[in-house]
A = this chain, B = another copy of it.
Amino acid sequence: MANEKDAVNQIADVDKDFAQWYTDVVTKTQLVDYGPTKGSMVIRPYGYAIWENIQKELDRRFKETGHVNAYFPMLIPLSFLQKEKDHIEGFAPEVAIVTHAGGEELAEKLFIRPTSETIICHMYQKWVQSYRDLPILINQWANVVRWEKTTRPFLRTSEFLWQEGHTLHADADEAMEETLKILYLYEEFCKNILAMPVFIGKKSEKEKFAGAVATYGVEAMMRDGKSLQSGTTHYFGTNFTKVFDITFQDRDKERKHPHESSWGVSTRLIGALIMAHGDERGLCLPPRVAPYQAVIIPIMGHKGGVNERCVELKRELEKAGIRIKLDDSDERPGWKFNEYEMKGVPLRIEIGPRDLENGVFTYGRRDRAGEKFSGKLDKASDEVIKILDDIHENMYAKAKKFNDNRVKLVKNVQELKEAVDSGNFVLTMWCGDRKCEEKVKELTTASTRVMPFDQKMDKGLAAKCVCCAKKADIKIYFAKAY
C-alpha cells in the first residue's frame, strides 16, 4: 500500500518510548488498525495471518489431547451472569448489554459473552447424565467483548478473539490434571511456536479468575521488563456445576456434581510476541507464525534470468511448505530491505546476477540484522528449512537470556521497587496475606504474577515476607504488568 513507503524508519525509539514504539510498529506494519468505536481494533491481513498460524498450531494440540470444538451462542440471558456471585462481580462492570432486537425491546436483556462459562454450563446441564458422558472436553474459538477503560491493540480491546476450553470431569483430580495439562501445553506452544520462554505457576487469590477455585498463569516478559499475562487455566471445582445444577450418576449410583476446568489464550498472544521479540528496527516475527517466513528480493531482476530464477525458487520453497513472498516490484532493494525488516520477516533472500553465476543465494536473517550470509541455490529448500529452525532457536535463546538476566531476587519492598522500576521481574518470598500483596502494589505498582511450581528455597532468598517480614514460605514472582 502506498502509505507504507513513508512509514519505514518512522517508528519511535524502542528504548526511549516503548509505548509509542509499540503503537508505531503495530499500525505501520499493518498488523492492526483502530476501529471506529472506543477500544476496538481491526485485525488486518498481516496480523490475522499470525492469528491463523497460532490457531492452527493450538488447534492441532487441543485435538491431539482429545478435545473437540463446538460453538455456543454469544448472547446470554442476563440472569445467567447472576448465578455465580464471584463471576458477576468480576464481569458485570465490563459487559455490553443488548436491550433491543428485531425492532422490539427484549423481555430479558442479553449480555455479550465476556467468557462463556455460564452459557456452556447451562448446556452441559442438559447433556450430562451419567459418568459415561464424562469427561466433556470442548473448546470454542470465538470473539468476546469486555468493555475496558484503557485499551491498546492486541493487549486490551473491547472485542478480541480467543479460544476457551471448558471441560467437565468425574472428579477433582482429573479436572486438576486437565487444568495443568493445558497450562503445560500453553508453555510448550509459547516455547516451540512463539520462541517465547514464559513463567508459569499458580495465581494468588487476588489475581485468580472470577469464580475459579484456582487459576494458573502463563506470564511472558516483555522487552521493558513488564509482564503480559498471556494465557490462563482455571480449576473451578464444582462452583459452576452446583449453581447450574449439573449432576451425573456415578459408577457407585450416587448423583454427583462434575468438576470443571476452563482455559484460554487470545489475540493478546500477538501483542506478546511483538513486545518479546521486537527491536529498534521493528517487528521480529518467530518463523513458525510469521505470515511469510521468507521474502525473495531480485537484484537487477531483468539481468541474466534473475527474475525467472526467483519465480522458480519461490515455487520450490512453496512446495517444501515454506510461506514465501516474492517482491519483484519496482521499489529500490534498499527500501525493500528496510520494509521487510520492519515487518519482521524472518529471512530475506536476495538473488542477483552474480549470485546466479556462483550458484548461491545471499540472505539476511531478521534475528541477526546487519549480517550477510550465503547458501547454495541448488539446495535452497533444505537450507531455508534449516535456517528458519535456527532463527527460531536463536530467538528463543535470546529471549531466554533476556528473561534470565531480568529476574532479580529481592528481600524487601525497597529492593523490589528498585528492581521493577528498572525493568525486572522479581522473585521473592511472600507470607500469603492479601494485604501484603496489596501494599506492595500500592508502593511499587507491581503485582503478584505466579507462584512457580518449584517452591524450593533459593539461595538468595530468606523465609521472610518481602512486605511484612513475617515468616513466609511462598516463593512468588512480582512484576509490573500490562
Contacts and interface: CB of A to CB of B under 8 A. Distances in A.
B129 A3 contact: yes
A75 B40 contact: yes
A477 B70 CA distance: 37
> Counting chain B CB atoms within 10 Å of each CB, which of A37, A143, A161 scores highest?
A37
Given A36-B122, A73-B159, A123-B33, A2 B48 contact: no
Contact of A97 (B92, B101, B133, B147): B101
B2 A132 contact: yes
Given A49-B68, A71-B42, A96 B103 contact: no
Nearest to A147: B102
A74 interface: yes
B99 A99 contact: yes
Which range contains the number of A residues in contact with the other chain? Answer: 35 or more
A76 B112 CA distance: 14
B70 A143 contact: no
Main secondary structure of the interface of A (DSSP, over half): mixed
A42 B112 contact: no
A37 B3 contact: no
Contact of A129 (B2, B37, B96, B123): B2
Contact of A37 (B97, B110, B148): B110
B77 A36 contact: yes
A138 B96 contact: no
Nearest to A161: B71
Contacts of A94: 102
Contacts of A149: 102
B145 A142 contact: no
Contacts of A145: 74-75, 101
A40 B73 contact: yes
A213 interface: no
A332 to B, nearest CB: 16
B73 A37 contact: yes
Interface in A9-48: 33, 35-37, 40-45, 48
A204 interface: no
A158 interface: yes
A122 to B, nearest CB: 6
Given A33-B126, A33-B127, 15 more contacts: A1-B129, A2-B130, A36-B77, A36-B122, A37-B75, A37-B77, A42-B72, A42-B73, A51-B71, A74-B145, A75-B158, A99-B99, A101-B145, A101-B158, A112-B112
Nearest 3 CB-CB pairings of A with B: A102-B147, A96-B101, A45-B68
